[in-house]
């Protein structure tokens, strides 16, 4: 039986990873750099600190990461201002399911608190979340389990094996698994592979598939 649910945000609730990839392409080009998509994929699910380290190691210490990061976020924000963050299929269905079942829900995202709260509020989803955990609040980002353990503690400290974690990145899946939680893989831009399999409890194509009691029978 599921006692708590924890959601990643980008690629799970919102189709923002594609938007972010487009922003990286556009802004890096304007800065005079060629940024391969594989670099973006290697950063999916990571917090800003770890992302910076990966980017700088690849592009060199001369890369203006801080300016690039600010401009990329502004590029994304400008495209979400009018119509809000693009929601993934089944978001409202599964959040309403947990609400109807009185299952508390937390957000655990590597995205910065200000941006993440803006997106959740802009989408009108705030009422579904009991707790939040942000990448800047933990010393170790995904794939370490810290952010999920923090989210669970803020929900009340449920037995980890009774917590379902919804993730789309290898780093997030490993983090949830290492936290002792049941990880649900919802592929977005990164397909499943042998390196992902050990950290996946169940895999679905849409969040709607997990909005049924029978989905959690073997927890």
- Residues classed as catalytic: 8
CA distance 133 to 33: 33
Q: Is the dihedral of CA 42, 198, 147, 211 positive or negative?
A: positive
Q: What is the DSSP string of 122-147?
A: HTT-GGG-SEEEEGGGSSS-TTSSHH
CA distance 8 to 10: 6
E strands, 28-159, are: 105-109, 131-134
């Amino acid at each position: 039986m599921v006692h708590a649910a924890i959601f990643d945000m980008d690629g799970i609730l919102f189709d923002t990873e594609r938007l972010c990839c487009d922003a990286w392409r556009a802004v890096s080009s304007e800065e005079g750099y060629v940024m391969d998509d594989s670099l973006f994929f290697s950063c999916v699910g990571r917090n800003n600190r770890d992302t910076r380290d990966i980017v700088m190691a690849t592009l060199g210490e001369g890369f203006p990461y801080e300016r690039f990061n600010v401009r990329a976020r502004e590029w994304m924000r400008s495209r979400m201002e009018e119509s809000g963050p693009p929601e993934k299929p089944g978001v409202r269905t599964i959040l309403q399911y947990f609400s109807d079942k009185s299952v508390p829900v937390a957000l655990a995202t590597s995205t910065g608190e200000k941006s993440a709260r803006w997106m959740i509020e802009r989408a009108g989803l705030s009422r579904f979340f009991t707790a939040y955990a942000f990448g800047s609040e933990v010393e170790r980002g995904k794939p370490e389990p810290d952010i999920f353990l923090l989210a669970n503690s803020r929900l009340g400290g449920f037995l980890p094996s009774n917590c379902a974690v919804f993730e789309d990145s290898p780093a997030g899946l490993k983090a949830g698994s290492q936290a002792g939680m049941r990880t649900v893989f919802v592929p977005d831009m990164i397909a499943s592979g042998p390196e992902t399999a050990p950290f996946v409890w169940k895999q679905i194509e849409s969040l709607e598939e997990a909005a049924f009691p029978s989905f959690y029978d073997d927890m």
